[in-house]
Amino acid sequence: MEKLNQLKNILQEVHDIQMAQNLLEWDQSTNMPVGGALDRSYQMGTLAKISHEKFTSDEVGSLLDSAAKEVSSLNSDSDEPCLVKVAKKHYDRERKVPTQWIEKFVQVTATAQTVWEKAKADSDFALFEPHLTEIVNLRKEYGTYFKPYDHVYDPLLDDFEPGLKTAEVQEIFNAIRPRQVALIDAIKKAKPVQDDFLYLNYAKDGQWQFGMNVIAKLGFNFERGRQDVSVHPFTTSFGWGDIRITTRIDENYLPTALFGSIHETGHAMYEQNIAQSLRRTLLCDGASMAIHESQSRLWENLVGRSYNFWSHFYPDLVKIFPSQLGNVDLDTFYRGINYVKPGMIRVEADEATYNLHIMLRMEIEIALLEGAIEVKDLPQIWNEKMQSYLGITPANDAEGVLQDVHWSGGMLGYFPTYALGNIVSAQIWDKVAEENPNLQDQIANGNFKPLLKWLSENVYQHGSKFEPKDIIKKVTGNTIQADPYMRYLEDKYKGIYNL
């Protein structure tokens, strides 16, 4: 396996450079002073350039061909053949993109994130507009490297959900939209549930400590990770032994920090339970963002917003916040955290309305790439779509078009994976429940080890060895199917709202 070992050595160096780049990104979002933005953009651009040149070299192409022959007799599902197969796919894709584009894109987005943070704080889209315009133009240019394609959005979507086409996502969304709208309409006619107690003052220290205790019990490994605070919650990896998450704390709205922490913990536990044999390789990553989001949403919603979860944790929360929650019983609290009401902020949206936020963003991204709309018009377009989809209009840019970090990072094509993750999470959940009939009792007792073990064995340990469609097929026996998710939502809210 001489050529394979030579290939591995180069791929490990590429991986190390990319992890160093992740470290710079994490620091930018958590600790870096504002004045460091320009310097950081150059540093990250340089690392991206070195990584891209090293990975797309002729030498790597030759080694891939030779290594493929060396591993041809091995089990196709074993680590080495999968590594060569995945590396070859990435190599062929990245060879199409000029190194100069990579370097510029990273520099532009590194600067844009700092500008976005200020623009959001000041609710000033005009400050961010020129940066977003440049990013959209760069993403349009990126798409041209992959012609011919069925749709201009396909190459960008493929960055985050390999193998899935825009038309397929639109078909899935078209199937679930009527059922979600019907569910929301039914809930609007029902007696509202109480949630005013969630909007009291909850001290940051108490929220932080409670959240830390929860994610530790879920299975987050603090020996190989940590949690910090950032403007927008995220998860990043510096390697198999160092997975970082962040959260955002709102002292006047209790769910923000906790569910943000649980969501990112779902991502982190996926990464922390990838097989150690995949360390320092291209395979030490999630299969796709939809698979990744299926896990963050599974832990956040199917676990974290469940009645049995709170039957275990609620007494601890009341002890920390007795004046706010002492007179709120468990049933009232459970209904409150599952309150359905169209809201401005995606990350705080209830499960019934969440996917509509995603559909709105995907429509905007497609229109931007098609040239049907311009960046300068986004605040108005955003507000019109919010009114059309959810019947509400943002009061300012901060709670409207500037609320998400994704566009500052150039991540057009990412948003659909959130809704796809919701759908896949329910499919996986049904399978877990089928094979573990004691699952709900375990959750009520605060025992999350069997669930984490099952997910690790069936999903997490494989990293990105397999295509996302293959992972879904292996785990659920089916393709992406919306019905389990819609059944879950309809059954849940039927109970909460007596529909």
- Contact between 478 and 427 under an 8 Å Cβ cutoff? The reply is yes
Q: Pairing mode, if any, of strands 243-247 and 235-237? A: antiparallel
Residue count of the chain, please give it: 499
Q: How many CB atoms lie within 10 A of CB 25?
A: 20
- Residue 227 pairs in a beta bridge with 245
Distance CA 369, CA 384 (A): 19
User: Which residue in 199, 196, 164 sits closest to 413, CA to CA?
Assistant: 164
Residues 6+ apart with CB under 8 A from 456: 273
Q: 164: phi > 0 → left, psi -120 to 50 → alpha, else beta; which?
A: beta
Phi and psi angles of residue 479, each rounded to the nearest 5 degrees, phi first = -85, 180
User: Is 382 buried (19+), middle (13-18) or exposed (0-12) by CB count in 10 A?
Assistant: buried
**115: number of Cβ within 10 Å:** 19
Residue given tokens 């998860």 in the structure block: 235
Backbone angles phi, psi at 126, to 5 degrees: -60, -30
Which candidate in 25, 117, 264, 300 is catalytic?
A: 264
Four-residue CA torsion sign, 158, 159, 162, 164: negative
Amino acid symbol at 474: K
In the annotation, is 264 catalytic?
yes
Running DSSP on this structure, what letter comes out for residue 192? Answer: P
Gap between the Cα atoms of 387 and 294, Å rounded: 28
Are 296 and 264 within 8 A, CB to CB? Answer: yes
Mapped onto helix, strand or coil, the DSSP state of residue 236 is strand
With beta carbons less than 8 A apart as the criterion, state whether 242 and 414 touch.
no
Alpha carbon 231 to its chain's center:
16
Helix 351-370 and helix 125-144, axial crossing angle in degrees, nearest 10:
70
Rounded distance between C-alpha atoms, residue 478 and residue 495, angstroms: 28
Number of H helices, E strands in the chain: 21, 3
Rounded Cα distance between 181 and 189, Å, is 13
Pair 403, 346: CB distance under 8 Å: yes
- Show which residues are catalytic: 264
